[in-house]
Amino acid sequence: MAVFQASARTVARAKDEIVVLDTAPTGHTILLLDAAQAYHRELGRQSHGVAPEVEQLLPRLRDPHCTQMLICTLPEATPVHEAAALQADLHRAGIEPAAWIANQALSPRTVTDPVLRARQAQEARYLQEILAGHHSRLVIEPWSEEYA
């Protein structure tokens, strides 16, 4: 709850700032938001109310004028499928992701090594899956030696 409240305060203060909340690609984050909001509603009924920043967190996350949700993944089976599950959870929470980002992609690179070419061919399948089934806006971030 303390992390949730600190996040709510940070988001509430960010009028002209960018706040990045980096979470695991599972629905646990959304479940935490929903559970925390329900918990605070109950506390509000029993006491003197809920902090306004906590009360407004989920509505702000749902508002595309305040929040742009980006789903980041690797162009591989498990990460893409976990990210798709996250997107489904976000949809259930009324949050529409603005785009997906595929990190560490070999596709934009010219590779000659047979192992890297095989990986490049495999990741193309998952990049196409994102575009065809999950989101039409996809940023492909090429693999870089900085990731090594």
pLDDT digits (tens, 9 = 90+) for 71-128: 999 999 999 999 998 899 888 888 899 999 999 999 999 999 999 999 999 999 999 9
Same structural domain, 58 and 97: no
- Residue ending a domain, among 10, 41, 65, is 65
Same structural domain, 79 and 142: yes
Q: Select the highest-mean-pLDDT range: 19-23, 45-49, 60-64, 76-80.
A: 76-80
> CA-CA distance, 98 to 6, in Å (whole number)?
24
Same structural domain, 34 and 81: no
Same structural domain, 39 and 74: no
> Could you tell me the residue range of the domain that residue 17 belongs to?
1-65
Q: Which segment of 45-59, 64-78, 130-144 scores lowest on mean pLDDT? A: 45-59
Same structural domain, 75 and 16: no
Number of domains in the chain: 2
Higher per-residue confidence, 102 vs 14: 102
**Burial bucket for residue 93 (CB in 10 Å: 0-12, 13-18, 19+):** middle
Instruction: Please report the sign of the dihedral spanned by the C-alpha atoms of residue 43, residue 48, residue 54, residue 58.
Output: positive
